[in-house]
């Protein structure tokens, strides 16, 4: 995409990540793999199938897991999870989940959720995991995570005509972000950017970013705090109407989150192993390339090789 006539370029070294400091940068992606065999899919208008993880391990080798892999995701969070043109659930993270299930012979069940209900659904066993551009930083003690697989950053989007050009310019402005989002955590009391958030005239939340962009366009808000690739997706072909500030709010990393139980820990390790295999066989690169125009780059993939 372009801003003010100049290409918006991200530079980075994806090898700088693991088990150290965070690297500033962009983010994850989107893609499409055909389903196979035992996998199940459901359209946006159809009910998801299956029940929560069972009490028996059946043939999965993981105690407590019955092979029905229920992925909790926000269906209005492209490019990670959303409703496709054909009415089915799609997105980079969902396609990765489908590919993992195909490798394991698990039943893949996408389950759209209300983002602020994710913890209750996960801990009650109604979903197996949260896989939807899920930020690790600040949540390490709350979930059994895979190792980080994608780098991401939180950014600010304003109208192209706005005089806001830096984070300091947001003082006294009206800002909106998604309920229970990483951006909200950053800008709220106790967050790494709490001081910045306190300088706003107000910081409001909304269920989805599509509505946030409409509010921004109408002038109800001066800025949107959002994940970089989600910003790219929502801007789309309106690069002449919106711009992303060069200065990011932070850098962070995505992981797949499971309940902090023995079953959750075992599933996290098994999913991580499969993601490494999907990277090795070229599947991850294929998915990243397919959605490169939506802020996706294989260079942001940071999961260590097997």
Shared domain for 145 and 261, answered yes or no, is yes
Tell me, what's the pLDDT at 164?
A: 98
Q: Is residue 70 part of a domain?
A: yes
Q: Measured between alpha carbons, how far is 187 from 154 in angstroms, rounded to an integer?
A: 11
Clarify whether residues 145 and 285 are in a common domain. Answer: yes
Kindly state whether residues 126 and 267 are assigned to the same domain. Answer: yes
Q: Tell me, yes or no, whether 223 and 271 share the same domain.
A: no
β-strand partners of 88 = 43
Q: Is residue 126 in a domain?
A: yes
Over residues 239-262, the pLDDT tens digits come to 999 999 999 999 999 999 999 999
20 belongs to a structural domain: no
Residue 303 lies in a domain: no
Both 46 and 127 in one domain: the answer is: yes
Range of the domain at 246: 2-7+153-251
Which pTM does this prediction carry? 0.75
pLDDT(60) > 90: no
Domain termination site, one of 231, 251, 271: 251
Whether residues 170 and 237 share a domain: the answer is: yes
User: Two tokens at 239?
Assistant: 């690069």
Q: Are residues 96 and 157 in the same domain?
A: no
137 with 91, same domain? yes
Instruction: Indicate whether 296 belongs to any domain.
Output: no
- pLDDT of 207: 92
Is residue 19 domain-resident? no
Please name the residue that has the structure tokens 């551009």: 133
* Domain-located, residue 17: no
Q: Are residues 36 and 127 in the same domain?
A: yes
Q: CATH number for the domain including 195?
A: 3.40.190.10
The proportion of the chain whose per-residue pLDDT surpasses 70, expressed as a percent, equals 81
The predicted structure's pLDDT at residue 212: 98
Q: Tell me, yes or no, whether 23 lies in a domain.
A: no
Query: How crowded is residue 22: how many other Cβ atoms within 10 Å of its Cβ?
Result: 17
State residue 272's pLDDT score: 98
Tell me: pLDDT of 116 over 70. Answer: yes
Task: Say if residue 47 is in the same domain as residue 183.
Answer: no
Indicate if the pLDDT at residue 20 is higher than 90: no
Asked if residue 185 and residue 283 are part of one domain, the reply reads: no
Q: Are residues 145 and 173 in the same domain?
A: no
How many domains would you assign to the chain?
2
What does the pLDDT look like over 161-194, one tens digit per residue? 999 999 999 999 999 999 999 999 999 999 999 9
Does the structure show a pLDDT above 60 at 30?
no
- Residue in this structure with the two tokens 């003690």, named with its chain if needed: 141
């Amino acid at each position: 995409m372009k801003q003010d006539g100049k290409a918006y370029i991200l530079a980075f070294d994806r090898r700088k990540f693991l088990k150290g400091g965070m690297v500033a940068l962009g983010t994850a992606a989107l893609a499409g793999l055909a389903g196979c065999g035992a996998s199940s899919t459901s359209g946006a208008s159809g009910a998801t199938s299956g029940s929560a993880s069972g009490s028996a391990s059946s043939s999965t080798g993981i105690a407590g897991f019955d092979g029905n892999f229920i992925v909790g995701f926000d269906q209005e969070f492209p490019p990670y999870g959303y409703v496709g043109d054909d009415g089915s659930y799609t997105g980079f993270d969902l396609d990765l989940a489908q590919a993992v299930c195909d490798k394991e012979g698990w039943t893949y069940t996408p389950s759209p959720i209300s983002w602020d209900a994710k913890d209750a659904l996960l801990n009650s066993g109604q979903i197996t995991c949260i896989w939807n551009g899920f930020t690790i930083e600040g949540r390490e003690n709350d979930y059994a995570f895979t190792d980080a697989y994608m780098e991401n950053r939180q950014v600010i989007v304003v109208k192209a005509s706005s005089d806001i050009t830096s984070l300091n310019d947001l003082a006294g402005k009206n800002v909106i972000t998604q309920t229970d989002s990483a951006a909200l955590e950053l800008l709220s009391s106790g967050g790494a950017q709490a001081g910045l958030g306190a300088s706003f005239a107000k910081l409001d939340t909304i269920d989805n970013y599509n509505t946030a962009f409409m509010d921004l366009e109408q002038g109800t808000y001066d800025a949107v705090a959002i994940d970089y690739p989600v910003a790219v997706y929502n801007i789309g072909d309106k690069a002449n109407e919106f711009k992303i500030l060069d200065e990011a709010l932070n850098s962070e990393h995505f992981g797949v989150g499971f309940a902090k139980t023995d079953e959750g820990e075992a599933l996290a390790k098994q999913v991580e192993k499969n993601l490494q295999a999907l990277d090795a066989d070229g599947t991850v690169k294929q998915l990243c390339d397919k959605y490169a125009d939506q802020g996706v780059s294989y260079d942001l993939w940071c999961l260590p090789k097997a």
